[in-house]
Amino acid sequence: MFQLQNKTAVITGGGSGIGKAIAFTFAKQGANVYILDVDEAGGQAVADEIIQTGGKANFKKCNVVLQTEVKQVMENIIGNNRAINILINNAGIAHVGNAENTAEADFDRLIQVNIKGMYNCLHEAIPYMKKKGGSIINMASVAATVGIPDRFAYSMTKGAVIGMTLSVAKDYIHHNIRCNCISPGRVHTPFVDGFLAKNYPGKEKEMFEKLSKTQPIGRMARPEEIAGLALYLSSDEAAFITGCDYPIDGGFIKLNN
């Protein structure tokens, strides 16, 4: 079950965190993985490690904000594989702030990366996917559906992700393209460690425990757990699933009363 043999998977933001975990998981299940990231060193390192462990992977430096770059990369992938079977729209950035203290430049930057970047990838990949069908997974967040303090702009962009997911699922259902989104709660990624080091120097461990306990299950998710859900939704076993948002949040949405 959940095999991805002979399938080409494009993973944006695959050079670290959740994207990295998805790349390793998909490659282990037989997919030919294309890692797209602006971080050339990180993305290439992930691809190299996958290859060294017997998997198939390629790295393409790509800024998802620039449609011309995304178009060129997608054309290159099609030239080598003749199909894009899976698209994981994972690239994104976070932000802390409310409606008053969020600067216009930060607001615009989040729209560019988290919304326009996802649109660019959808815009360039869907024409190729229409020929043979496929699975699209957009990375949303519990912040799209639950009020979280100081996440104004970030929550706004993730709400847009859910809207795009529903639209794509509806528009391309007869092309055998499924589109779902995943809404993680807090996940222990390098971003979390960097955030704590920057904002709570000397108190990283204490704040890590505090953030972990905001999840009713008592800990943060591991990136590999998010990757497991992405694998299922991308596999043939999920062929009857489209237009859904999947919280994976340790009970945060339903149990955090």
Catalytic residue (choose from 34, 128, 154, 246): 154
Burial of residue 180, with CB atoms counted within 10 A of its CB: 0-12 exposed, 13-18 middle, 19 or more buried: buried
34 noted as active-site residue: no
In whole angstroms, give the CA distance from residue 235 to residue 1: 8
Contact 33, 9 (CB under 8 A): yes
The neighbouring-strand residues paired with 254 are none
Strand order in the sheet with 86-89: 56-61, 32-37, 8-12, 86-89, 134-139, 177-184, 245-248
Contact 173, 162 (CB under 8 A): no
For 29, what's the count of Cα atoms within 13 Å in the CB-facing half-sphere?
20
DSSP letter at 113 equals I
Q: Which among 212, 233, 198, 196 is positioned nearest to 22, based on CA atoms?
A: 233
Active site residues: 154
